[in-house]
Every structure is written in C-alpha cells, then in structure tokens.
Amino acid sequence: MLSRVLSYDLPRSAPLALLLALTALGLLAAPFLFPGVKALGVAAKILVFIVLAASFDLLLGYTGIVSFAHTMFFGIGAYGIAIASLRMGAGWDALALGALAALGLSLTLALLIGIVSLRVRAIFFAMITLAVAAAFQTLASQFSELTGGEDGLSFRVPALLTSATRLLPDPVLGVNIDGRILCYYLLLAVSTALFLILLRVVNSPFGRVLQAIRDNEFRAEAIGYRVVVFRTLSSLISALFATLAGMMLAIWLRYNGPDTSLSFEIMMDVLLMVVIGGMGTLYGAVLGAAVFMVAQAYLQDLLRVLAQATEAAPMLAALFSPDRWLLWMGLLFVCSVYFFPNGIVGELRRIAHQPITLRSR
C-alpha cells in the first residue's frame, strides 16, 4: 500500500527511510513537539518550501532546465491571494478567486516563456528567465496601488484560520487547538498531496521522457519525442506547483511583499535546497528544505550560545558571532557539497547499493 502511495519510488536506503520518517513525524507533530510561534512558523515554511523545491527539481533535476523565473510564479501565487483577500475581504470566496486568477496568470506566462525561450540553448534560456523575473519584481515594487509596492500587502484570512478561533475548549498536550493549528494542518495536508502528485508525475511515462530529455536531448528527439513540447509541459507543471506554494505562504503569513516571495535570494535558497537534498530526487526536496530552513532559523541562536561559551577566547567568540551566520551557512553548504556531491539522498542511495567485497586473507 505504501509503495503504491509513493508511486513505487521507495527510498531504497534504510538511513534515508529513517530520515524521511523522522522528518514526516516531526512535521506531523510539530505543534505539540515544538510549541511556540517561531517553531511552528519554521515548520510551516518547511512545508511550503518542500513544494517549491520539489517543483523546481522537476525542472532542474528531471528535465535539465535551468530557470531563474521560478520565484516569479511563487510570487504570483502569493500576490493572488493577498490582492483578492484585501479587495474582497476575509472570505473563502476571496481565496478561491485569488487562487484561480494566480493560476491563470502563471500558466499563461509559463506558456509564453516556454514557447519563446525553450528552443534556445540552456544558458540563453536561463538569462531570459532571469530578465523576466527581474522585470516582474520591478513591476511588483512599482505598482503600489495594486501590490502595495515595497511595503507589501497585509490582509486577513477567514476567521476559522486565525488564532482567535478556539476549536476545542481544553488544551491537548498543553497546546490550545485554535485556527492557527488548523491552518498548519491544512498546509500539511496540501503539501503532502502536492508532493505525492509530483512523485506520481516523475514516475509516470511522462516523467521517464523528461529524464530521457535531460540525459540526451538529441537522442530523445531522434526516437520521436517532441522535446520542446515536453519541456514546455514540464515548465507549466512546475509553474503550477510553484504558484500553489506561494498561495500556501501567503495564507500562513497573511502578508506578501516583493522581498517575501519575489527576491532573488529565495531563488538561491531553493537552488541550495535542491542541491543539498539531491537533484533528480524529490525526496531531496524534503530533506533539503528541512535542513536549510532549520539552519536558517536557528543557526544564529546556536552561534550566540557558542559565542557566550567561548568568551574566554576572544578570537573564537568573534568567530562564533551571530552576525557571521551567513559565513557559517556558506561553510555548511560547501561541506554538504564536498561530503555529499550527489546530495543527501543520492549519497545515501549510493552507499546502500555499494557492492560488499570480501577481503581474502
């Protein structure tokens, strides 16, 4: 049954299966295991970025397309929810209309980019998508009447999803079950469903064709596959899921702005998640998003503790200063690439399938 749910794409490594199980259990029980606003926010962002990183891996890892416009679709989803909720008020109809408008715009732009750009070489396509993403971010910053400009948009969500709504009269395991907890579990359900759908896509005949195009585009074209058509479809599916991830983020934060969903830093973060977890493995998106978001949220706290513990050695205390957290993030990334060149998932699977050789005496 589990194999069918996972589209017969099993972890194929006991340590990997354990890591995925611990991550899934941690996210499932996060409101009770890690009480607090910050911890719950980190868990919710992990759910969002699992979908965003997995959708980007469909492009990069499975199709071999390097696109820098992925966060543009992410931002479109977030702005769709924010603008509709602000104009129409806090209601489910506003969320539905905003979602439909965002999906329509994203699919239209993805189709135009695909038709115009996917015939060019990889580096030129990457540059085109980078220019389009930069232009869209500039437009979002300047159309302040619609998008709120640099200040962004704050909006309300239905009362059922707010902390003011108590769903149970008594706490459960010391946690008040309110609308915020319900919102988290809705994100968990949506993230799980979207991930399983993507897992089915990459393990379908369509996904096999994408991998064939990634491995040898000319051979795939020679045996009869329309490479441009399949690459365009991959771009459309990826844009669709990135837009849905943006909607999830906006509903959780109840705010959206250019730096929240459209910045180039987010694009780099997603790329790091995919590389750390392992390209061409959707499970890598789960582990990459979890590792990166936890490190980003708690690395400064850890450095602060280390700085206080090494006050007697000024050089060490300065090295562990929380202000240098980006340096340590860079070092962690370098170490992960050095020790896990195929990503966490790729290396664990490689180790699991290494032949066992017996030494003769």
**Tell me: the pLDDT tens digits for 313-336?**
888 888 888 888 778 888 888 887
CB 167 within 8 A of CB 182: yes
Tens-binned pLDDT, residue by residue, of the chain (361 aa): 778 888 888 888 899 999 999 999 999 999 998 878 889 999 999 999 999 999 999 999 998 888 888 999 999 999 999 999 999 988 899 999 999 999 999 999 999 888 776 666 667 788 888 888 888 988 888 888 888 888 889 999 999 998 888 888 888 888 888 899 999 999 999 999 999 999 999 999 999 999 998 888 888 888 888 888 888 899 999 999 999 999 999 999 999 999 889 988 899 899 999 999 989 889 999 999 999 999 888 888 888 888 888 888 888 888 888 888 778 888 888 887 788 788 899 888 888 876 544 444 3
Give the distance, in angstroms, between the CA of residue 118 and the centroid of all CA atoms in the same chain: 23
pLDDT of amino acid 118: 63
* Residue located via tokens 């400009």: 149
pLDDT of amino acid 123: 76
H or E element that contains 234:
helix 227-253
Give the distance, in angstroms, between the CA of residue 325 and the centroid of all CA atoms in the same chain: 22
pLDDT of amino acid 357: 44
pLDDT of amino acid 36: 83
Q: Please give the single-letter amino acid code of residue 56.
A: F
**Tell me: the pLDDT tens digits for 148-194?**
888 889 999 999 998 888 888 888 888 888 899 999 999 999 999 99
Domain boundaries, the chain: 2-352
pLDDT of amino acid 356: 45
- Rounded to whole angstroms, the Cα distance separating 34 from 37 reads 9
Q: Please give the single-letter amino acid code of residue 325.
A: W
CB 305 within 8 A of CB 328: no
pLDDT of amino acid 252: 95
pLDDT of amino acid 360: 41
Give the relative orientation of helices 264-277 and 122-142 as an angle to the nearest 10 degrees.
140
> Of 1.10.3470, 1.10.10, 1.20.950, 1.10.3860, which CATH number belongs to 2-352?
1.10.3470
